[in-house]
A and B are shown apart, each in its own frame.
Chain A
Amino acid sequence: MLELIVTSTLNGVLYGMLLFLMASGLTVIFSMLGVLNFAHASFYMLGAFFGFQISRWFGFWPALLIAPLLAGLIGAVVERYGLRHVHKNGPVAELLFTFGLAFVIEEVVEIIWGKSPVDYRVPRLLDFPAFTIFSTNYPAFKMFMLLVSVAIFLALLIALKKTRVGLIVQAALTHPHMVGHLGHDVDRIFMMVFGIGTALAAVAGVIAGPALQTQSNMAELLGPILFVVVVVGGLGSLRGAFMASLLIGLVQTFAVSMNGSLANIFGPLGPGNAQPLLADIWNVTIAQIAPIIPYLLMVVILLFRPMGLFGTRE
């Protein structure tokens, strides 16, 4: 039991940090441009596939650097030549533009790399068990993932709070016109923030690719959970995104490792096989409903806090 708790906590924090790596970019972009980037998870997928391709050519370590740069560049181009033009058509058109982009990126990835998962492996340098808790080996690569995401999180925090650039970005979030009048190129700041946000998602893709599965449906699988994270945290709130990422990461990881069902808990008190639909609900295990738990959590939290955990404004 203790073993389960320790490994699940580690895995949950890891998953949560990965989620936050993406949710942070998504949140900052949303506060700045007022548009939720539907294609954010697609950049995560692009990161994973670029990482796979580059690590095949040059090795994993160059890939860790080049793939996010490439994805960030694509992100900046999308903002400069796409989103900025759509802006005059209203917020719905902006959201739909990123939605169409997500659709197109998935198709392009399918054309280039196919529909089946690609063979993206953990680099040999990190392919060993880091430590053994109780009887299970904990892989070093997962520790590396955790390290990278925590390092980026801290770097972001320092960059946003302590540096001059971070100051300007923060100011541009709330008072873009004022910042413009002070002589800063707000459009360029927006473009760079979009590029960095997508690059962060790509970093998550590069390091998550070998551990999870690198496949053309990975954006489709992760995207909705990512949106749940930002809605539960409160749209536009970085602190909320952080809390919600960890919350959902932990809850989902714990759920996957549990095997209980209503039938297990109540035993002979159950309705038995009275009705097939009821029996379905009765016999389903927690591990089986793990994929829907984030959504259930979202509905429950929004019932009591319509603005999300840390949300303040519409």
Chain B
Amino acid sequence: MTDLSNVAALLGSISSKKLRFFGSWIATAIALLALPCIFSSGGSLTTFSLIGISIIFSLSYNILLGQTGMLSFGHAVYYGLGGFLAIHGMNLIVASKLPVPLPLVPLIGGISGLFFAAIFGWVPTRRSRTAFAMISLGVAELVASSSLILRSFFGGEAGISANRTKLLPVFGWNFGPQIQIYYLVAFWTLLAVIAMYALTRTPLGRMCNAVRDNPERVQFVGYDPHVIRFLAFCIAGFFAGIAGALAAINFEIANAAYLGAAQSFVVLMATYIGGVGFFIGPIIGAIFVTYLSLALSDLTTVWQLYFGLFFVAVVMLAPGGITGLLMKHRPLVRAGTIVKVLRAYLVALVPTLTMITGLILGIEIVVQHTINAGEDPHTKAFGVHFNAASPLIWLLATALVIGGFVVGRPAWRWVAKAWDEALNTAREKGIHA
């Protein structure tokens, strides 16, 4: 009797787990469908489309960095080539009137990403770690420089364009309006996210993790780490190609910037800021960075500096990224000891924010004196007006930075103490990270 109830309980827990698992995917799909109803302006639809593309791209990058431990500085090559091939494919489809609708075009990008990753990936994946990073950078420079030489294919500086509305319409949709593009991107994003999640559950995905953690042991087990790295590289290239094709469809143009170093760096930063240790990390990173770059560029002219400083801060202080930072608190939440830590955070936040404010003020003053030299010193950054020429503002910035630093140090030490205590209490309760 007890056996039976045990089995029933087990079945129940499995099915409830399954329910939760599939439920979360279905909820995501419904949320994606409903999103345009809430934010219906053209601007937010464009933002959502960009975020979707960025999510696919970042997740594909995390197949390399997070799952296989390969730090690539040239992932945009496959994104860019996917975009170019998609544009060429669209032009070819229109020119020879092939019955291919637009929603299938990202597949062209994906296959070309896979193809080129297979060509360029064999040499770099022989090595791991630093050497791989440097070789990937070299290969990326090779392709980016070649794109400016092979003008007929890459279109030189101007790039090449296509008209997405000329393809075969689907159910009366010609994909002119942004809302239809949004749904196209959302569909592919969901599909790609599910596929990449499934990949982490396959034996290949597990072997990737093994290659990341202990390549020597993988060799002993009888696998070739080079081949596994190469396979991961090809798959990452495939999804990057899909993202690139979607970007090309969204902008109706592909140019050399698509496969340049800057694009590779952005995806690296987005993935790392989101957190490479968890599947959801790059998704959060993509949303955060895309939104940040759009929002910050409205607020200040030197947003890239802030972005860079933020990235350095994440590398130094939170190597697990945003997700890693949040997940560190999970045992505390379960043990119910989070409140004390949160209180400490609130206290430490005040001097920290003071210091950051001072820093931003200082940077903006310098910017006012160098970039905008000779203009009216009464300026505005982050919506705040100030006079950059007055010595008072210099003093204020210095005082804020120094004051924030002096008060902030003991405050953070106190946070660390509260953290240790809370974690110890959690451990005593038998909850481990």
Q: CB within 8 Å of B: which residues of A? A: 30, 35-36, 82, 85-86, 89-93, 95-97, 99-101, 103-104, 107-108, 111-112, 114, 220, 224, 227-228, 230-231, 235, 276-277, 279-281, 284, 288-289, 291-292, 294-296, 298-299, 302-303, 306, 314
Contacts and interface: CB of A to CB of B under 8 A. Distances in A.
B142 interface: yes
B126 A100 contact: no
B153 A231 contact: no
A82 B302 CA distance: 23
Contacts of B280: none
Contact of B150 (A35, A114, A277, A295): A277
Say what secondary structure dominates the interface of chain B. Answer: helix
Given A92-B71, A104-B305, A302-B123, A288 B138 contact: no
Interface of B: 65, 69, 71, 123, 126-131, 133-135, 137-139, 141-142, 145-146, 149-153, 261, 265, 268-269, 272, 302, 304-305, 308-309, 311-312, 315-316, 319, 366-367, 370-371
A112 B305 CA distance: 12
Contacts, number: 125
Given A231-B135, A299-B142, A279 B152 contact: yes
Given A107-B308, A292-B141, A230 B315 contact: no
Say what secondary structure dominates the interface of chain A. Answer: helix
Nearest to A88: B319
Contacts of B305: 104, 107-108, 111
Nearest to A105: B308
Contacts of B146: 292
Nearest to A294: B138
A85 B315 CA distance: 10
20 contacts: A85-B316, A89-B315, A89-B316, A90-B319, A93-B319, A95-B71, A104-B305, A107-B304, A111-B366, A114-B371, A224-B137, A224-B138, A227-B134, A228-B134, A231-B135, A235-B130, A280-B150, A289-B149, A302-B126, A314-B127
A228 B138 contact: yes
B158 to A, nearest CB: 15
Contact of A230 (B134, B309, B370): B134
A281 B146 CA distance: 10
Contacts of B65: 92
A291 B145 contact: yes
